[in-house]
C-alpha cells in the first residue's frame, strides 16, 4: 500500500475474447513473476497501463470492468 494513488482512470484492454473497458482506482502495487496476457491502454495519454493476468479460467487485474462496454467479450469471459 502507498499513500498516493498508484493508478486512476479509464482503460481499454484488448483481451483474447475482445475489447473491454473499465477503470482503475487503487493505492496498492503488486509484484509477481507471472506474465500478463495483455496490458491495458489508458484512455488519456498519461498514466500506466494495467497488466491483466490469466490462470486457467481466472482473469485477474486491478481493472474494474464495465461489462456493458462489450457484452460479447463479457460472455466469453464467463462461458466455456
Taking the complete model, does pTM exceed 0.75, yes or no? yes
Q: pLDDT for 35-77, tens place per residue?
A: 999 999 998 766 789 999 999 989 999 999 999 999 999 999 9
pLDDT top residue among 46 and 22: 22
Quick one: pLDDT at residue 62? 92
Q: CB within 8 A of 79, min separation 6: which ones?
A: none
Domain ranges of the chain: 1-50
Nearest to 24 by CA among 58, 57, 55, 66: 66
**Edge-to-edge strand ranges of the sheet holding 58-60:** 38-39, 51-55, 58-60
Amino acid at each position: 500500500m502507498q499513500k498516493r494513488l498508484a493508478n486512476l482512470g479509464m482503460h481499454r484492454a484488448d483481451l483474447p475474447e475482445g475489447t473491454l473497458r473499465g477503470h482503475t482506482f487503487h493505492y496498492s502495487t503488486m509484484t509477481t513473476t507471472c506474465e500478463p496476457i495483455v496490458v491495458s491502454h489508458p484512455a488519456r495519454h498519461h498514466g500506466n497501463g494495467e497488466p491483466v493476468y490469466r490462470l486457467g479460467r481466472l482473469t485477474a487485474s486491478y481493472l474494474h470492468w464495465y461489462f456493458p462496454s462489450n457484452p460479447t467479450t463479457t460472455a466469453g469471459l464467463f462461458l466455456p
